[in-house]
Chains A and B, each alone.
Chain A
């Protein structure tokens, strides 16, 4: 690299001028001649390898003047924001023709919206929203009320969003998102942005009214100066601008409402959401008008995707602050189209609406279910950050319920114990931290989430052991288990049951997410379903215990003690939550057996490799569960033993899918009030039904018929596959 010769010299010059003092045991010497000699010895691209030169260092090295790597390269455009502005890249006003000016402003608004969506989707702020020269020098626009107010509110919105995401901060995903160094961001200027916006909106309303009055051949009601000079276009322009301003206003309000503690602003937020959605619709509709105008006024032929009019927006330059964007090569970014940006914001608004509609259910079980359901919608970072901030504020659930109280409720303990001294136990405190941590993890993107869930499994296992020891030490042996007179004893018992249940819940989510992330191949399905099966059995068992306990607690409230056991026996039915788990257990069992049978009898889905065996793949997939002993004594050997005898004929006699179908059908009435679960039951039925049919076909044709092609697809459920049988 030619420039390398210069680089060290620059370093030396710097050292001299800044006269950095010599450090301990080191002094400055002039090494120019040494370097010059070395340069002669070292041709272009060669490398002296030092021990600390890692791949990281190699990859960080930039080839100067290589356009793919060197972000400082002279790109032929402007070298600085000031230079761009001096050269007229961002004029204020945009045109002295006020019609053109109005059109240009709308283009800027649209392109900014596209940039903002692109930012939310994971690109840097510097290369998206802050490619806008007007935003980079906000003060320059102050003479232009319309442009200024819009830029101000975008600026304020960026601040608000950054603050939500950085407060939620759980994952490096956010690093790039919130990285704003070198950009003119910061709070103080935002206060007045809404009053500005309202004033401009007011003016536009008057202009719109005036133009309507005029076109209705009435006299001008007020003495209003029109927005621009072409009378025929006045109404269209006013409308196009109004919906854009109003969208920004409601969007900003919405963000403010959502930040109020304990979800207190949610009702109002929902109103703003619905206003935002209607304004977005108006924005969409305005595109027809704008395209027409654009083609009339200044048709230069080329259409861009990022504005409603299709015109190239003025005042953007993605390169001027590229140097501040990252110490890495510039990411080649493709700004979302204006249409995609509208879709993005619609999706975001719907996701936020779901958060705002949440009942702030105090029962942890329901909170977990809500977050899992929410994640199924594949919300983006901004929506997830909002959810997380709702769930955990000031170390409390919703900023409202202390975690110990949440744990007690989850563990089916009576309300009264939430002030019990036990909450001071160091392991109980730690358990509280784990609950908070779990909730945060459940708000991260699912790829990251799964990795974290795998890692925290051990924490939950260990805390279980520690709690058990601590309780034993404090309370003595649990041998006298029926003695619930002792409140502490009872608490300890219930909490332990719940911790185990929770750990198995995490394990099941970890395993199931593997399907969502497409981590399993069909040759691995057999062991995956087997593992899901053993984990779900444990989960169902613990859940059942816990619900029995809560039943017990509830009963005791009103009755004398001696009645309770009898009542228990009389009223007792298996709770719906456990039966639902039972459905999954049947499906997992059925799939394991079917796959094992196909392997045993048809040698299908075996996937041998030259370097290792299924045993290694088992270890890799279930390492986290195995380390946490979840469940105890489960190993590859257990898997092999329990599947070795599987055959299609035995499946025919005991059809697990039929069981799943039956239970699902019976359960529908229990969940009649819950549409999500009714839909889930329907999916379970479909999976069960289709697999039963497939089994029939396979057994009828005979397992050895090689013309049958069997594959597994996720047509009816994201986690439970159906066998698809074809004749080849």
Chain B
């Protein structure tokens, strides 16, 4: 988030050198965990990661530059108050690779899968101070639907961002994971355990 603080040495690369892959199994998990642990301050237990990648592997993507994993997105989807909605839980690109559209490509892929799976909308939370993420999601059509007072452990407010898909006739797909209860953003957040980002 704070790319400006200590100028990060950027890596020279062509956009075409970045390879995007869908979550491919156990060997990807440590890569994701390391990236998120490094960039986000909220503590996530391994269960949180597993919860996402095992239930919705199709919504999780990784970006590689050669062997190096440089970015990832982790999401879920499920019923929430009579709507089927997607939720972006974590999005990270490592500093030397930022500003080149990698994050946009990662979320775009997840959102496309969500749309194809019949989601009516996509949501996430982002710190009100996270200019980069807010700009990125704004360009994708997310609105700032609500402000959440002191949402994060550090006492900072969050925005709930939402992207509503154009209305389509209801789908009768056999969704994966639609039995999973989501209580992640019921109005009463589990105190002290919100997602930092995303």
Binding site for B on A (CB under 8 A): 45-47, 49, 51-63, 66, 68-69, 121-123, 172-173, 175-176, 326, 328-329, 331-332, 445, 447-448, 450-451, 517-521, 524, 607, 609-613, 615-617, 619-621
Contacts and interface: CB of A to CB of B under 8 A. Distances in A.
A55 B51 contact: yes
A617 B45 contact: no
Nearest to B188: A172
B149 A329 contact: no
Nearest to B183: A56
Contacts of B183: 54-56
A237 B162 CA distance: 58
A616 B165 contact: yes
A620 B143 contact: yes
Contacts of B174: none
A61 B140 CA distance: 33
Interface in B16-70: 43-48, 50-51, 54-55
A175 B166 contact: no
B138 A521 contact: yes
A324 B190 CA distance: 17
B181 to A, nearest CB: 5
**Is the contact region of chain B dominated by helix, strand, or loop, or is it mixed?**
loop
Contact of A47 (B50, B146, B180): B50
B144 interface: yes
Contacts of B179: 51
Nearest to B128: A518
A55 B44 CA distance: 11
Given A60-B193, A521-B138, A616 B55 contact: no
A721 to B, nearest CB: 16
A518 B143 CA distance: 11
Contacts of B111: 611
Given A45-B46, A54-B181, A55-B76, A326 B191 contact: yes
B182 interface: yes
B115 interface: yes
| Interface pairs A-B: 8 shortest CB-CB | A609-B141, A328-B192, A68-B43, A58-B51, A45-B46, A447-B147, A447-B149, A616-B164
Contacts of A59: 44-45, 48, 184, 190, 193
A18 B101 CA distance: 60
Contacts of A53: 51
Given A60-B190, A447-B147, A609-B139, 12 more contacts: A47-B47, A47-B50, A47-B54, A55-B76, A55-B182, A329-B193, A331-B192, A447-B148, A519-B144, A607-B139, A611-B141, A617-B164
Contacts of B55: 49
Contact of A616 (B141, B149, B153, B181): B141
Nearest to B180: A54
Given A520-B144, A611-B140, A611-B141, A52 B181 contact: yes
B192 A612 contact: no
A60 B111 CA distance: 27
Interface in B147-191: 147-150, 153-155, 157, 159, 162-166, 179-184, 187-188, 190-191
A172 B151 CA distance: 12
Contacts of A57: 47
Secondary structure call for the A interface: loop
A61 B47 contact: yes
B8 interface: no
Contacts of B130: none
A38 B48 CA distance: 21
A54 B128 CA distance: 27
Contacts of A520: 144
A56 B192 CA distance: 12
A520 B143 CA distance: 8
Most chain A CB neighbours (cut-off 10 Å) among B115, B143, B155: B143
B141 A612 contact: yes
A56 B190 contact: yes
Contacts of A611: 111, 115, 140-141, 163, 165
B48 to A, nearest CB: 5
Nearest to A608: B141
B23 to A, nearest CB: 16
Contacts of B159: 519
Nearest to A330: B192
Contact of A518 (B147, B184, B187, B192): B147
Contact of B153 (A332, A517, A610): A332
Nearest to A619: B164
Nearest to B159: A519
Given A54-B180, A122-B155, A611-B165, A445 B149 contact: yes
Contacts of A332: 153-154
Given A46-B50, A60-B190, A176-B191, A612 B165 contact: yes
